[in-house]
Amino acid sequence: MNANHYLYAAYIATWAIHGTYLYILARKAARVRKDIERLKRSG
């Protein structure tokens, strides 16, 4: 594990963390959109 590996690991980790959070948000947004559709239909 020479120094560069640590560097890339840190950068990749940063985007992995942000990516995971954005993925969670996307899934939550999809669920909300589905609820809105359901409410519109039966509202």
Q: Does 27 bind another protein (CB under 8 A)?
A: no
Q: Cβ neighbours of residue 28 under 8 Å, at least 6 residues apart?
A: none
**3 state SS of 25:** helix
* Euclidean distance between CA atoms 13 and 36, whole angstroms: 35
Smallest distance, another protein to C-beta of residue 12, A:
10
Please count the residues of this chain forming the interface with another protein, following the rule CB under 8 A: 23
Q: Which residues bind another protein (CB under 8 A)?
A: 1, 3-4, 6-7, 9-11, 13-14, 17-18, 21-22, 25, 28-29, 32, 35-36, 39, 42-43
